[in-house]
Amino acid sequence: MLTNLFSPLAIGPHELAHRVVMAPLTRMRASQPGNIPSALNAEYYGQRATKGGLIISEGSPVSLVGQGMPATPGIHTPEQIEGWQAVTDAVHSKGGKIFLQLWHVGRISHSSHQPDGALPIAPSAIAARGQAFTASFERVPFETPQAIDIDLISLLIDIYAQAAANAKQAGFDGVEIHGANGYLIEQFLQARTNQRTDQYGGSIENRTRLLLEVVEAVSKIWGSERVGVRLSPFGIANDSGEDDPLRLYGHVIRELNRLHLGYLHLIEPRASGAGQAEVDHKNVPSAAELFRPAWSGKLIVAGNFRPDTAEAALAAGHADAIAFGRLFIANPDLPERIRRGAALNPYHRPTFYGGGAEGYTDYPSLDDAMEAAE
Ligand SMILES: Cc1cc2nc3c(=O)[nH]c(=O)nc-3n(C[C@H](O)[C@H](O)[C@H](O)COP(=O)(O)O)c2cc1C
């Protein structure tokens, strides 16, 4: 029945056995001090791994400057690399694949996360509307960031490259560059957050430059076929949004198309709040349908998918694989449940961010549920 979801797919050199991908999901449960992936984190990812399945890790800050939320596991210290090694081992021991999501939040940070309490960096000194998450889990208004000096942009690209090399050392199978949801790369892409007058701002070509330079630097480490890029052309998360997304993202995707990436990962506009609320916008365009013609590589799509709509999107040729976020939080064995047409556990939003095992590693699999019933 779900023949498309359970047909094989090659992503670069990786032969996937099915197309039920785990979306990147920040859970704010890294061990402290040091934002280090823990044994509990390894258990969580191991539970969600399947033979030939693809997991994309939660966003992993490429540097302390790139961190915006407490207890998010970074990829810039030896201890973090070691912590991630246990995560990749847990996934590989079940025959799964895992990509690390390279994350820099830019202005969606707070000085409490920054070295020496400095202001966060961004393309331009424009504060986001809304509330930052401080290092002590408090919510306070965003600060006005400092515009990154042009001389420091090459350093920023080196930081991405180093993080990508660290991910390799930690045993990942590839990396995804987070270019979505209002974070640094998207802040450069979009006009409202990028009012620079140098070669990284102004025209669409200039605003796309940082993303392309990061892709190029990371591809040198991994080979482009092991690199993915995530974009949210119609997103509004973290005070983002572009007036003419078709024009901007048409250009971005055509440029990326020349680089032979492992995949492009798009978030659908009906989930424009990036899973932060129970929104399901109706009568909105489909990013997959709109941008597919500009993209000749593999396409992963996310955003409010259910098993039936996921199968339909694949059957219609709109995407090659579907990433599930919230359903994967609540269903450690999501691919198996979908395959069998089994009921899905509901997710519990209050335990999405922070805390311990509750709402993290204690959602039952079908086998657990059966044992409990016996
Ligand atoms: C708790 C939570 C954490 C998330 N963290 C990330 C993240 O680290 N990186 C990212 O690109 N998207 C993140 N997202 C967005 C999801 O990857 C996904 O695009 C969104 O939830 C819509 O998919 P869904 O309807 O299947 O949940 C997060 C969403 C949720 C609910």
Task: Tell me what pLDDT residue 274 has.
Answer: 62
Ligand 1 pocket residue status of 235, Cβ below 6 Å: no
Task: Tell me what pLDDT residue 370 has.
Answer: 78
Ligand 1 pocket residue status of 91, Cβ below 6 Å: no
Task: Tell me what pLDDT residue 369 has.
Answer: 79
Which of 22, 25, 279, 331 has most ligand 1 atoms within 8 Å of its beta carbon, as the pocket-test mutant? 25
Task: Calculate the alpha carbon distances from 305 to 23, 106, 211, 267, 312 in Å.
Answer: 11, 29, 27, 11, 10
Task: Calculate the alpha carbon distances from 302 to 2, 140, 237, 267 in Å.
Answer: 18, 30, 15, 5
End-to-end, the C-alpha distance of the chain in Å comes to 30
> 3-state DSSP helix/strand/coil percent for the chain, to nearest 5?
35, 15, 45
- Indicate which atom in ligand 1 lies nearest the CA of residue 323: 26
Ligand 1 centroid to 309 CA: how many Å? 18
Which residues, in sequence order, are CB contacts of 194 under 8 Å at separation 6+?
A: 123, 124, 187, 188, 200, 201, 207
Q: In 3D, which of 310, 317, 316, 374 has the Cα closest to residue 344?
A: 310
Ligand 1 pocket residue status of 305, Cβ below 6 Å: yes
Task: Tell me what pLDDT residue 315 has.
Answer: 97
Task: Calculate the alpha carbon distances from 350 to 117, 163, 353 in Å.
Answer: 29, 31, 7
Ligand 1 pocket residue status of 50, Cβ below 6 Å: no
Percentage of the residues of the chain whose pLDDT score is greater than 90: 92
- Indicate which atom in ligand 1 lies nearest the CA of residue 267: 19
Task: Calculate the alpha carbon distances from 26 to 96, 133, 293, 309 in Å.
Answer: 20, 13, 31, 24
Q: Span 105-121, mean pLDDT?
A: 97
- Indicate which atom in ligand 1 lies nearest the CA of residue 352: 1
Percentage of the residues of the chain whose pLDDT score is greater than 70: 97
Which of 22, 26, 278 has most ligand 1 atoms within 8 Å of its beta carbon, as the pocket-test mutant? 26
- Indicate which atom in ligand 1 lies nearest the CA of residue 180: 11
Task: Calculate the alpha carbon distances from 54 to 1, 5, 372 in Å.
Answer: 21, 13, 29
> Which residue's C-alpha comes closest to atom 22 of ligand 1?
303
Ligand 1 pocket residue status of 302, Cβ below 6 Å: yes
Ligand 1 pocket residue status of 185, Cβ below 6 Å: no
Ligand 1 pocket residue status of 179, Cβ below 6 Å: no
Task: Tell me what pLDDT residue 350 has.
Answer: 95
Task: Tell me what pLDDT residue 279 has.
Answer: 66
Pair of tokens at residue 100: 């690390």
pLDDT surpassing 70 at residue 73 = yes
Task: Tell me what pLDDT residue 275 has.
Answer: 61
pLDDT digits (tens, 9 = 90+) for 116-161: 999 999 999 999 999 999 999 999 999 999 999 999 999 999 999 9
Choice among 45, 183, 200, 363 that is catalytic: 183
Residue whose structure tokens are 């409990």? 372
Report the amino acid identity of residue 165.
Answer: A
Ligand 1 centroid to 267 CA: how many Å? 9
Q: Is 216 exposed, middle or buried (0-12, 13-18, 19+ CB in 10 A)?
A: middle
Ligand 1 pocket residue status of 178, Cβ below 6 Å: yes
> Which residue's C-alpha comes closest to atom 24 of ligand 1?
325
> Which residue's C-alpha comes closest to atom 23 of ligand 1?
303
Which of 326, 347, 352, 360 has most ligand 1 atoms within 8 Å of its beta carbon, as the pocket-test mutant? 326
* Cα(254)–Cα(292) distance, integer angstroms: 10
> Which residue's C-alpha comes closest to atom 4 of ligand 1?
25
Which residues, in sequence order, are CB contacts of 239 under 8 Å at separation 6+?
A: 128, 129, 130, 182
> Which residue's C-alpha comes closest to atom 11 of ligand 1?
24
Pair of tokens at residue 316: 């219609």
Task: Tell me what pLDDT residue 372 has.
Answer: 80
Q: Map out the domains of the chain with their CATH numbers.
A: 9-325 (3.20.20.70)
Maximum C-alpha span of the chain: 67
Q: Is 263 a catalytic residue?
A: no
pLDDT digits (tens, 9 = 90+) for 238-297: 999 999 999 999 999 999 999 999 999 999 988 766 666 666 777 788 899 999 999 999
Q: Where are the beta strands (DSSP E) in 181-249?
A: 227-231
Instruction: Confirm if 265 and 323 have CB atoms less than 8 A apart.
Output: yes
Q: Span 191-195, mean pLDDT?
A: 98
Q: In 3D, which of 189, 202, 269 has the Cα closest to residue 229?
A: 189
pLDDT surpassing 80 at residue 20 = yes
Helix (H) or strand (E) holding 32: none
Return the minimum-mean-pLDDT range out of 183-187, 221-225, 280-284, 291-295. 280-284
Ligand 1 centroid to 276 CA: how many Å? 8
Instruction: Confirm if 146 and 107 have CB atoms less than 8 A apart.
Output: no
